A and B are shown apart, each in its own frame.
Chain A
Amino acid sequence: MIYREAGQYRTSYLDDGQTFPIRLDRWAHWLLIAVAVLVVPFIINDYWANAILLPFLIYAIAALGLNILTGYCGQVSLGTGGFMAVGAYACYKLMTSFPDISIAIHVVLAGLITAIVGILFGLPSLRIKGFYLAVATLAAQFFLVWLFNRVPWFYNYSASGQISAPERTIFGLPVTGPETSAAVTYLFCLAFVLASAWICRNLTRGALGRKWMAIRDMDIAAEIIGVNPLHAKLTAFGVSSFFVGIAGALFFSVYLGAVEVGEAFGINKSFLVLFMIIIGGLGSILGSFLGAAFMVLLPVFLKNVLTGGLGWPTDLAAHLEFMIVGGLIVFFLIVEPHGLAQLWRLLKEKLRLWPFPH
C-alpha cells in the first residue's frame, strides 16, 4: 500500500525518462548504494570479500558487458572468457610496463584495448547471424587463450607461464598484491561497478540503445529507418568488450592476483557469464546484477547447506549444483526468457495495485 505512484507528477520529458520513475524505487536505490559504500566496508571480512562480494561485483561488470551485446543488440557471444583474458593481460602488461601510473587508469586502458579487440572479432557479425556468430565468437575464445599461452611476451617470459599482479596502491592503500585489505579491494571494485552500471544505463536509454534494440528485434526494419547495421553492431561489440575487459582486468589484478589463462579464462567463464544474463534477464541492467548474484551465491549457499549443514560429501554437492544450474537455464529459457529481472518487474506491477487484483 506504500508502493504507489499516485500524486507523483512528471512535468518534463527528462523526468518522464528517468531510471526510477517511482519515488520509492528511487529512494531504495540510493539507500542501497549508501549501504554498499558507507556500511559494508566497515563490516566486511576476508571471507565475505573473497567468497561473495568481489566475485559478485566483478562478474556483475562482465554480465553488464555481455548483456549489452547479447541482451540489447541480440548478438550471441561465447567469447566472454577470451575477452576477459585480453583485459587481464592488457592490464598486466600495462602494470609492469608503466609502474608509476595509477592502477585505476590501467584498468580503464585495459578495457579500451579489449574494446578494440572486441570490434575486430565483431566484424564477422555483419555477415553471419545467430548460431553461426556464436560459433565464430567461440573461435575467438579459443584463439585468444591459445595466444596468451603461446606468446611469452604476454606473460613477460615468466618460467611458469602465469601472470601475477605486482603490488599497486590507490591513495597509499594497496589494492593488488598480497597486502590488500578486504575493504579497500571491495571499494575499488564497487567504484567500477557503479560507474559501469551508470554508463550502461545511459547508453541503453538513449539513441545508441535504441539502435541496438532495433537491430536485435528486427534488423531489416532497423535498416529501413536508417540504422547502419555496421555501426550498431560494432559499437555493441566495442562497448560490450570494454566492460568485459575491465571485468577481466579486475578479476586478474584485484581478485585472483595470479592467473593461468586456460584455467581462469577458459570456455567455462564464457558460459558462466552467459548463464548469468540468461537467468538474470536479457536486456536488463538489473538482470545483470541479479544473475551475477545468483550464480555467485548459489554454490556458496549449496556448499554451506549441503556440506556444512547436512554433512553431504563435497563432490555430491558440487554435482547437485550443476544439475540445479542446468535445470534453471532450461526453466528460464522456456518459462521466463527475461529472467529474474522480469519476475521482479511483475512483482512490482502487482505491488502497485495491491491489495486489489487489477
Chain B
Amino acid sequence: MLDVATDPGADQGRITGETLLDLRNITLRFGGVEAIKNISFDIREGEIRAIIGPNGAGKSSMLNVISGFYVPQEGEVWFNGSRRPPMKPYEVARQGIARTFQNIALFQGMTVLDNVMTGRLNAMNAGTMSQALWFGKARREEVENREKVERVIDILEIQHIRKVPVGRLPYGLKKRVELARALAAEPHLLLLDEPMAGMNVEEKEDMSRFILDVNDELGTTIALIEHDMGVVMDLSDRVVVMDYGRKIGDGSPDEVRNNQEVIDAYLGVSHD
C-alpha cells in the first residue's frame, strides 16, 4: 500500500476552506476584443489554484483583474465575503493580495533586502517627522518589520544575497526575490504569474518546494499561472483552464486532465 504522506498526489483535491475570492461572470474587453468572456470561478482559503491555458487565453488578464490593474466591464469580484468596488492596485494590495510578474518587476536600484522590505511598506506607517528624526515609531517599525522580512528570507533561502543589488543576480534568484517581496506583505492571497518560466529543472524543483512550503507553513492561498503541466498537476488542488477568453475546464487536476475540451485546446483538433 502507498504511504499517504509520501505520495505526491495524496493531498490533491483535498477539502480546503471557505471561498476567499469569488469571480462572478467577469467580462473584460479592450475595444472590440473580448479578452475574458463571462468567466466565473472561485478560490478557496488555503488552496493552490492553477490557471492554465494556451498563449493568449486571457490568463494574465484574469490575474490583472484580480490585482486591480484592469476593471472588468461586467461581472463582480467578491473578496473575503464582500463585493469589491473598483479600486486602484495599491488599495487591492492593502486588502491582502500580493503578486509577482511574468517579467520580473524588481526594483533594480535597490538591494535584495530593500526590495523585500518594500513588501512591508503597508505595515509601516510612522509619520514623516518620526522618520526624519529616526526616532520612536520609525525606528521601532524598521526593526519589527526587518524581523518579519528575515523570516521570509530564511524560508526562501536567500540569506547569502541579502545585501546584493538585485541587478547583479541571476534570473532564477531574481524570481525568488520577487516571491520574497510578495510574501513579505503576508498576503491572504498570493498571485504568481508564471513563477517558473525560463527555469531549468533544478530551479523549478526549488521553486515548487518554496511554493508548497509557503502554502503549507504560512497557510497562504495561492493562485498561479504556469505552462509546465507537470508542475501544475503536482502542485495544484484545483485547476481552471482557459482558452480564447472562455473557461473550458475547472476541477481537480485529474478531472481536467481527462476533459476532452481541454485536450482539444492543447493538442488541437482536426477540422474536417
Are A and B physically bound partners? yes
Residues of A within 8 A of B (CB): 12-14, 17, 199, 202-203, 205-208, 210-211, 213-214, 216-218, 220-229, 235, 239, 283
**What's the nearest-Cβ distance from chain B to residue A279, in Å?**
18
- Residues A208 and B90 in contact, CB atoms below 8 Å apart: no
19 contacts between A and B (CB under 8 A): A13-B146, A14-B139, A14-B142, A202-B133, A202-B134, A202-B138, A206-B134, A210-B117, A216-B109, A218-B105, A221-B105, A221-B106, A222-B118, A224-B93, A225-B90, A225-B121, A226-B90, A226-B93, A226-B94
Nearest first, the 9 A-B pairs at minimum CB distance are A226-B93, A217-B107, A221-B105, A207-B124, A202-B134, A226-B122, A13-B146, A223-B89, A199-B132
**B119, closest chain A residue (CB):** A225
In the complex, A205 Cα to B138 Cα: how many Å? 11
**What's the nearest-Cβ distance from chain B to residue A316, in Å?**
41
- Residues A207 and B110 in contact, CB atoms below 8 Å apart: no
In the complex, A223 Cα to B114 Cα: how many Å? 16
**A282, closest chain B residue (CB):** B109
Contacts of A283 in B (CB 8 A): 109
Q: Answer whether residue B39 sits at the interface, using C-beta atoms and an 8 A cutoff.
A: no
Given the known A-B contacts A223-B90, A224-B99, A226-B90, are A213 and B128 also in contact in the complex, defined by CB atoms under 8 Å? Answer: no
Contacts of A235 in B (CB 8 A): 128
Given the known A-B contacts A220-B105, A221-B105, A225-B119, are A208 and B93 also in contact in the complex, defined by CB atoms under 8 Å? Answer: no
**What's the nearest-Cβ distance from chain A to residue B213, in Å?**
21
Instruction: Give residues 94-125 of B contacting A (CB, 8 Å).
Output: 94, 98-99, 101, 105-110, 114, 117-119, 121-122, 124
Q: Answer whether residue B185 sits at the interface, using C-beta atoms and an 8 A cutoff.
A: yes
- Residues B117 and A202 in contact, CB atoms below 8 Å apart: no
Q: How many residues of B contact A (CB 8 A)?
A: 40
Q: Answer whether residue B80 sits at the interface, using C-beta atoms and an 8 A cutoff.
A: no
Option from B109, B121, B133 in Cβ contact (under 8 Å) with A199: B133
Given the known A-B contacts A207-B141, A225-B185, are A213 and B67 also in contact in the complex, defined by CB atoms under 8 Å? Answer: no
- Residues A213 and B110 in contact, CB atoms below 8 Å apart: yes
In the complex, A224 Cα to B134 Cα: how many Å? 27
Given the known A-B contacts A213-B107, A218-B105, A221-B101, are A17 and B89 also in contact in the complex, defined by CB atoms under 8 Å? Answer: no
Contacts of B126 in A (CB 8 A): 206-207
- Residues A214 and B133 in contact, CB atoms below 8 Å apart: no
- Residues A206 and B67 in contact, CB atoms below 8 Å apart: no
Q: Answer whether residue B55 sits at the interface, using C-beta atoms and an 8 A cutoff.
A: no
**What's the nearest-Cβ distance from chain A to residue B30, in Å?**
17
**A16, closest chain B residue (CB):** B146
Contacts of A211 in B (CB 8 A): 118, 121
- Residues B107 and A218 in contact, CB atoms below 8 Å apart: yes
- Residues B121 and A226 in contact, CB atoms below 8 Å apart: yes
Q: Answer whether residue B143 sits at the interface, using C-beta atoms and an 8 A cutoff.
A: yes
- Residues A208 and B131 in contact, CB atoms below 8 Å apart: yes
Given the known A-B contacts A206-B131, A206-B138, A224-B67, are A214 and B107 also in contact in the complex, defined by CB atoms under 8 Å? Answer: yes
**What's the nearest-Cβ distance from chain A to residue B164, in Å?**
13
In the complex, A199 Cα to B135 Cα: how many Å? 11
In the complex, A283 Cα to B109 Cα: how many Å? 9
In the complex, A223 Cα to B98 Cα: how many Å? 11
Given the known A-B contacts A14-B139, A203-B131, A225-B93, are A217 and B119 also in contact in the complex, defined by CB atoms under 8 Å? Answer: no
Option from B109, B122, B132, B133 in Cβ contact (under 8 Å) with A217: B109
Interface centre among A14, A223, A225 (most CB of B within 10 A): A225
Contacts of B132 in A (CB 8 A): 199, 202-203
In the complex, A210 Cα to B146 Cα: how many Å? 13
In the complex, A17 Cα to B117 Cα: how many Å? 12
In the complex, A222 Cα to B185 Cα: how many Å? 13
- Beyond the given A13-B146, A17-B146, A205-B134, please list 20 additional residue pairs across the A-B interface where CB-CB is below 8 A: A12-B143, A202-B132, A207-B121, A207-B138, A208-B131, A211-B121, A213-B107, A213-B109, A214-B107, A214-B118, A214-B121, A218-B108, A222-B107, A224-B98, A225-B182, A226-B90, A226-B121, A228-B88, A235-B128, A239-B128
